[in-house]
Amino acid sequence: MRRFAASPYGVVVLIAVLVAALPAVLPTTFYVRIAALVFIFALAVVGLNLLMGFAGQVSLGHAGFFGIGAYAVAIGPTHLGIPSWAAFVIGVALAALIAFLVGRPILRLKGHYLAVATLGLGILIAMVMTNEAAWTGGPDGMPVPRLELFGWRVRGPVTWYWVSGITLVIGAWIAANLIASPTGRAFRAIHDSETAARVLGVDVARYKLLAFVLSAAYAAVAGAYLALFDGLVTPDSAGFLRSIEFVTMAVLGGLGSIFGSVVGAMILTVLPQVLTVFHDYEHIALGAIMIVFMIFLRAGIVPSLLTFLRRSS
């Protein structure tokens, strides 16, 4: 069990089982919606984890890429007459392209400087979405036409549960594959020590850029899904708070753990729903729970618990 949980592929199987089994215990479509949201956010966080947890580069602007995916499926069909699925592909490609163009110069920065640069990038994207009202509907947002594939209208929480769940499994599988490959080893080498990685012949700039572009693509896919699922997109989806939420999910669940990303996304999506019983104190309760997690499970929930299991067995 221990080795199974620690192996990257075991995690993919675990997520797949979870996706397949959950509908049996979800009583109403409200729960199905929450689960679908968890999968969508988890997908973005798995991508961010590749960058932050494995390659060790921080990004405080990932909601920008999330927003690009979301607005692509809104603007494409509405203003340009492009079918939703094509707009989806273009949106993901565009996010990857922007990450590629911007990534090279800003990934030269380290630590706090990189954090500030990515923060600026995210805010810039959100500003464009807020101000270009003729295209984006401004701060009020704009409606997103339903996705249609071969005459099948993709709508409703149950459908989106399966679409996002299966995509998450695929996304986790790609990430697990990548981590087990030489590329994954290069990521971890950069994380541990850039100088040492360079001495060993790792093209540091190239691998950092690869992680950045990949994570941007993950975020864009998730953003497009959320927009299509909600049928509406607002600039909040690309906002600073959303970026922080992604980073919090990744750190809370555990950096460098794919299953941790899913757990992080789940906690931050489900907790606010549970904590409404505290009425006016829900934000205090949420903050307190997160502080407790970070004090007692310092490496994030999943890695800390795994270490605990390992020690006790």
Minimum CB separation of residue 194 from other proteins in Å reads: 37
Residue that is written with structure tokens 């959320």 in the block: 226
Please tell me whether residue 194 binds other proteins under the rule CB under 8 A: no
Stretch that binds other proteins, among 82-90, 97-105, 231-239, 291-299 (CB under 8 A): 231-239
Token reading at 21: 């089994």
Q: Do the beta carbons of residue 78 and residue 68 sit within 8 Å? A: no
List the interface residues with other proteins, window 126-155 (CB under 8 A): 130-131, 133, 138-141, 143
For other proteins, the binding residue among 129, 230, 253, 293 (CB under 8 A) is 230
Minimum CB separation of residue 10 from other proteins in Å reads: 12
Please tell me whether residue 22 binds other proteins under the rule CB under 8 A: yes
Quote the CA–CA distance of 227 and 106 in Å, as a whole number. Answer: 28
Closest CA to 35 of 273, 308, 312, 307: 273
Please tell me whether residue 11 binds other proteins under the rule CB under 8 A: no
List the interface residues with other proteins, window 264-293 (CB under 8 A): 272-274, 276, 279, 282-283
Quote the CA–CA distance of 26 and 49 in Å, as a whole number. Answer: 28
Quote the CA–CA distance of 57 and 269 in Å, as a whole number. Answer: 25
Token reading at 249: 């999910």
Closest CA to 215 of 37, 9, 43: 43
Minimum CB separation of residue 29 from other proteins in Å reads: 6
- Chain residues binding other proteins by CB under 8 A are 14, 18, 21-22, 25-31, 33-34, 37, 130-131, 133, 138-141, 143, 157, 226, 230-234, 236-237, 241, 272-274, 276, 279, 282-283
